[in-house]
Structure 1
Amino acid sequence: MSSDRSNYNELMLSNLELGRELSARTLMFHAAIAERVGLSATEHKALDLLSRSGSLTAGQLAEVTGLTTGAITGLIDRLEKVGFVRRERDSSDRRKVVIHPVIEKIEQEIVPLFVSMSQQTEILLSRYSEQELAIIQDFISRSIALLQAETNKLRSNG
């Protein structure tokens, strides 16, 4: 029984270390993408969140990114300057500004940079059974929720 526990502990430690490595490699990959299109990593990921959400107000974008409204204003200014977003007054509340991703520019300049990674990820995932894919999906979904909660904790206690 103790060898089972020892193996479990080794696997836990190994997976925690692999998670750190995956996080670092993911960050470096997205930083390289951002650099290629003239954005910071934060601008790139905020644009990704915006493009998947559709249009958001500046306040909503601040909320989904966890950035302050002041930081979001500067970020939106930079994204607008390079043509990845456009601002528009909210028709129902003129005090609000809605941020729209410029999908054509994103598809032209950013999406092609992900083609190889997407293809390689599909090949990697195809190695797993349906049951294994469900476990991977569960782990990733729970990891996302955990990261959001921990990010919110860090931001609210800072």
Structure 2
Amino acid sequence: MQNDASSHHDLIAALDREMRRMGAQNIVTSQTVADRFGLHTTDLECLDLLFMRKAATPGELAAATGLSSGAMTALLDRLERAGYVERQADPGDRRRVLLHIKAEAIKPIEAVYGPMQARMQQLWAGYSQAELATIVDFLKRSTDLAVACVEDMRQDATAPKRGRRKG
């Protein structure tokens, strides 16, 4: 029985290490791609969030990222000046603005990610349908939990605040 408990504990520890390593690698990858296109990493990640959603309001992106409305406005102004996004009036509510990706503008970014995405999909194809369903469930639940934890941190008024880094 001790071996089973120890093995389970060891697997959880290994999972923790690998998730942290994957998170760090995602940041390095994002920074590398952002640098190639003269973007801030946050700008690139917001582009991806918008790409996955098809359309979003500035408020929805601010909520998804935790950026203030002022920081989101500056980010969107940069992306709009660079030609990556456009603001359009929401046909259902003229008071709202919807953001859309300019498909032609992001083709060079897609070209950079394309080979990596193809290699990842080739790797994932080696898993059974049941394994993929478990992996998708794990990633979704882990990400949802991480979002909730970040929101808890934002709401924690007792946490010490440090000055913002200059950048």
Counterpart CA distance in 2 for 1:144 and 1:98 is 25
Question: C-alpha distance in 1, partners of 2:89/2:118?
Answer: 39
* 2:86 aligned counterpart, secondary structure: strand
Q: Is the 8 A contact 1:51 1:103 kept in 2?
A: no
Kindly report which structure 2 residues correspond to 1:2-151, keeping only aligned pairs within 5 A, or say none.
Answer: 2-90=2-90, 95-106=95-106, 108-151=107-150
Greater shift after overlay, 65-74 or 83-92? Answer: 83-92
Distance 1:39 1:116 in 2: 20
Q: Distance in 2 between matches of 1:130 and 1:53?
A: 25
Cα offset, 1:93, TM superposition: 5.2
Q: Name which structure has the greater RCO, CA cutoff 8 Å, separation 6+.
A: 1
Change (3 A) 1:93 1:141: closer
* Stretch moving more, 121-130 or 66-75: 121-130
| In structure 2, C-alpha distance between the alignment counterparts of 1:121 and 1:90, rounded to whole Å | 36
Q: CA deviation at 1:97?
A: 3.1
CA contact (8 A) 1:86 1:99 kept: yes
User: How far apart, CA to CA, are the structure 2 residues paired with 1:42 and 1:48?
Assistant: 10
Asked whether the 8 Å contact 1:57–1:99 carries over to 2, the reply is: yes
Distance 2:74 2:37 in 1: 18
User: How far is the alpha carbon of 1:92 from its aligned partner?
Assistant: 6.0
Which of the pair is proportionally richer in helix?
Answer: 1
How high is the sequence identity, in percent, across the aligned residues?
36
* Equivalent pair of 1:89/1:96 in contact (CA under 8 Å): yes
Deviation at 1:62, TM superposition (A): 1.1
Shift of 1:89: 4.1
* AA partner of residue 46 (structure 1): C
CA-to-partner distance for each residue in 1:59-99, whole Å, 9 max, x for gaps? 22212222111110110111111111122344665554332
Deviates more, 1:48-57 or 1:28-37: 48-57
Scaled by the length of structure 2, what TM-score is found?
0.85
AA at the equivalent of 2:86:
R
Amino acid at match of 1:11: L
Q: For residues 133 and 55 of structure 1, do their structure 2 counterparts lie closer, same or farther at Cα, with a shift above 3 Å needed?
A: closer
